[in-house]
Each structure stands twice: as structure tokens, then as C-alpha cells.
Amino acid sequence: MRPPAQLVPWFSPEELAVWVREAPGKPAYQKRLAIWLTHLRHSAPEIADLLQISTPAVWLWVKQYNRQGPEGLSRTGRGGRRWAFLSWEAEGELLQGWEARAMKGEILTVPQLRPEVERAVGKAVSLDYVYRLLRRHQWRKLGPRPRHVKADRKSQAEFKKNSRNSSAKRLRKRRRG
């Protein structure tokens, strides 16, 4: 088992106790309490068990406290798009050009849009990246149902009326019988 962590003495024991009591909310209190219990020489697994949190969370909080002092614990989660090639605004500008084309009725496909995205990004991107970009901005895949070039609507309608297994014939049989 690992020995209890060592704390950098940012506060005296009395100041540390006051700092714990003055926590603004439950998450801050929990972090500060983990630091206090570490100061009292409890191990990270014991603290995690007492506070009903994960052991790596205790190690992370102790590390943040040791490196940055009390301010290190007030840091919020990472969040956000850390691996974005373009900012949200730049993506929006790129989509505005496509929106004008789409409103004219032009069919836009992802393989067709990919070179434009690569030009904007400045490097090669996958098709999946383009699909995710469109999804992030609530673009949907809308398009007409595929139709055969030689399809004849009149003969299709006639077939539906006169085919052997048509639902209309079955309905007529049920009504008679």
C-alpha cells in the first residue's frame, strides 16, 4: 500500500482547518476535506472510502493542491472541444457557404465537401470528421428517395391496382366474404 501523500505547507494546520470550514459548496468542501484528511496522514484509498469518491480523484486533488496551492482545487472540469481543427465560428462560416448552395437545390455530399473542409483546416481530414462537423451544427441528411431513371409512374400505378396480391383485391375479397 502506498504511504500517505505529503502536502506542501501552503497553510498552517489552523489555517487549513478554517479553509476547510469556509468552503463555498459541497464539491469544494469535499476537495478541501480530502486535503485535510491527507494532512492527518490518511491514505488516498481510506479518504476515497470515507468521502465515497474514487482514489484517483484524491490523488488528483492532492497533486493540484501541492502544485498550485488552494487555487488549484477551484479549477473546473476540462470540457470543451480540445481537439477542434476549427473554432465554432469558423465552422459556422464554412457552413454558410454550403447553406446557400443547398437552398438552391444543389445536392451536397460529404465526399464532395471534404476538399473544402481540408482547405479551411489546412490539412487532410477524414470523412467522419466532416460528418461530425455537419452533425454538430444540426445539419441533417435530407434528400429525395432514389428513383430509377426509366421508372414509369403510370405503369406502376396500374400494377398496384391490378397485381395479383394487391392489398386492394384482398380488401374487396374480405368485404364480399
Kindly report, residue by residue over 91-128, the tens digit of the pLDDT: 999 999 898 888 888 888 899 999 999 999 999 999 99
Domain that holds residue 114: 88-136
For residue 169, the model assigns a pLDDT of 61
Q: What is the mean pLDDT of the chain?
A: 87
Q: Among 32-36, 40-44, 48-52, 144-148, name the one with the lowest average pLDDT.
A: 144-148
Q: What pTM value is reported for the model?
A: 0.47
pLDDT above 70 covers a percentage of the chain that reads 92
Q: Give the integer Cα–Cα distance in Å for 61 and 167.
A: 69
Helix ranges, the chain (H): 13-21, 26-39, 44-51, 55-68, 88-103, 110-121, 127-136, 153-162, 167-176
Mark whether 55 and 103 lie in a shared domain: no
The residue among 49, 74, 99 that closes a domain is 74
Burial class (CB in 10 A: 0-12, 13-18, 19+), 37: buried
Mark whether 94 and 41 lie in a shared domain: no
- pLDDT above 80 (res 44): yes
- pLDDT above 80 (res 2): no
Give 163's Cβ-side CA count (13 Å radius).
10
**Residue 80 resides in a domain:** no
For residue 176, the model assigns a pLDDT of 73
Mark whether 67 and 100 lie in a shared domain: no
Q: Give the integer Cα–Cα distance in Å for 89 and 79.
A: 18
Give 37's Cβ-side CA count (13 Å radius).
19
Mark whether 50 and 92 lie in a shared domain: no
| Cβ contact 16:35 at 8 Å | yes
Mark whether 121 and 93 lie in a shared domain: yes
For residue 84, the model assigns a pLDDT of 82
**Residue 56 resides in a domain:** yes
Domain count, the chain: 2
